[in-house]
């Protein structure tokens, strides 16, 4: 059998490359031909996937994490195009779970990274959005790129976060506009949510980033105020556009000030990596990610790849860390999940590769 493995990472445990390698090691001795394409829908693993495909060197620079700790981050600069991922600077796995607080976390480090690649000569910047620990509307990113946020005519010097965006009353973008002049931006996003409302960034995602119900309400109010100020400054509304709510509102900042073109993350990767051509050559397509849930159908990697596989009448096997949605028969033929069949959530987190290998033993092709 020709098996195509296009599986996304199990967030915080096994990367797409790790999972692909384990699957390859399991099925190759059984006489199958396994083609591995590490994949990402814009979140964790975005750079790694592009690095594998382009076979170009990774670069490293210093930036800041979501709580302003100094970190090293990887990026790609390839023929004038920079590929970076928000997860590298502002990702939810960058800080311990007990310290998650979207009132305090910032995307400032993402802005530092973007500025670095521009100064290195990038004329196009492609940003993978997904898995953020932040809910600052991208204000930290904009601040690092030269936007001055002001309160009572005084520049706010502290890195912008979900709390501070509720205090601004004025912005100055002159230095920012000069820095990004001549640079184009593209966003690969794993979600299509708008910025505000019941399916907006705060109400849908802030809980998983550590927000209490009271903080979620406050974050929504702050984000609304922030959007009012920014949209008043530029004279155009972006809050309702698809993807504006991505990565705690970074999508909004990218649309409004970076004038970015927002792509579905998985569709961007499918086109860039020419995945459909590999699907056509395969008998079986293996997809997956950390959790199969109601969000999987809305721009996530397994659904995007499985949809193309079914168009070509290929058998699709889904491998997941856990699942809360078994209603996938229209695009995945059979679903396997580590939790709870093979391990508890705690056991899986402690020894992910062991239990993933155990699950593979039950798959007969």
Q: For the whole prediction, is pTM greater than 0.75? A: yes
- Which pairs from 346-353 meet CB under 8 Å and 24+ separation? 348/13, 348/321, 348/322, 349/12, 349/13, 352/10, 352/13, 352/14, 352/321, 353/14, 353/18, 353/22
Cα distance between residue 23 and residue 16, in whole Å: 11
Domains of the chain: 2-39+274-360 (3.40.50.10350), 46-266 (3.90.1510.10)
Q: Taking Cα atoms as reference points, which of 44, 87, 42, 20 lies closest to residue 269?
A: 42
* Token pair of 296 as six digits: 């999987």
Q: What pLDDT, on a 0 to 100 scale, did the predictor assign at position 132?
A: 95
Name the token pair of 126.
């492609």
Q: Which residues of the chain have pLDDT under 70?
A: 294-299, 325-329
Which pLDDT value is given to residue 295?
65
Alpha helices in 123-173 (DSSP H): 139-144
């Amino acid at each position: 059998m020709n098996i195509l493995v296009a599986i996304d990472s199990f967030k915080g445990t096994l990367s797409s490359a790790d999972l692909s390698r384990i699957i390859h090691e399991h099925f190759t001795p059984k006489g199958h031909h396994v083609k591995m394409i590490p994949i990402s829908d814009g979140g964790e693993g975005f750079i790694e996937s592009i690095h594998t495909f382009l076979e170009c060197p990774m670069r490293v620079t210093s930036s800041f994490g979501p709580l302003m700790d100094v970190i090293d981050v990887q990026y790609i600069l390839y023929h004038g195009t920079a590929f970076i991922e928000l997860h590298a600077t502002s990702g939810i796995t960058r800080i311990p779970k007990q310290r998650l607080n979207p009132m305090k976390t910032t995307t400032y480090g993402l802005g530092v990274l973007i500025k670095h690649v521009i100064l290195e000569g990038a004329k196009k910047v492609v940003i993978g959005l997904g898995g953020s620990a932040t809910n600052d509307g991208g204000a930290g990113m904009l601040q690092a790129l030269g936007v001055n946020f002001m309160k009572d005519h005084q520049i706010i010097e502290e890195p912008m976060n979900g709390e501070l965006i509720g205090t601004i009353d004025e912005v100055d973008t002159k230095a920012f506009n000069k820095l990004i002049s001549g640079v184009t931006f593209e966003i690969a996003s794993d979600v299509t949510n708008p910025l505000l409302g019941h399916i907006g960034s705060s109400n849908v995602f802030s809980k998983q980033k550590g927000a209490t119900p009271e903080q979620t309400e406050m974050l929504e109010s702050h984000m609304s105020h922030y959007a009012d100020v920014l949209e008043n400054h530029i004279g155009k509304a972006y809050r309702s556009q698809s993807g504006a709510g991505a990565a705690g509102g970074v999508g909004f900042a990218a649309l409004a000030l970076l004038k970015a073109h927002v792509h579905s993350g998985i569709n961007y990767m499918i086109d860039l990596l020419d995945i459909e051509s590999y699907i056509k050559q395969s008998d079986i397509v293996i997809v997956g990610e950390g959790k199969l849930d109601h969000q999987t159908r809305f721009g996530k990697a397994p659904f995007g790849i499985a949809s193309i596989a079914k168009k070509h009448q290929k058998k699709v096997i889904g491998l997941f860390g856990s699942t809360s949605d078994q209603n996938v028969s229209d695009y995945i033929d059979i679903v396997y999940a580590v939790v709870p069949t093979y391990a508890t959530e705690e056991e899986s987190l402690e020894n992910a590769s062991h239990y993933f290998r155990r699950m593979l033993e039950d798959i007969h092709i």
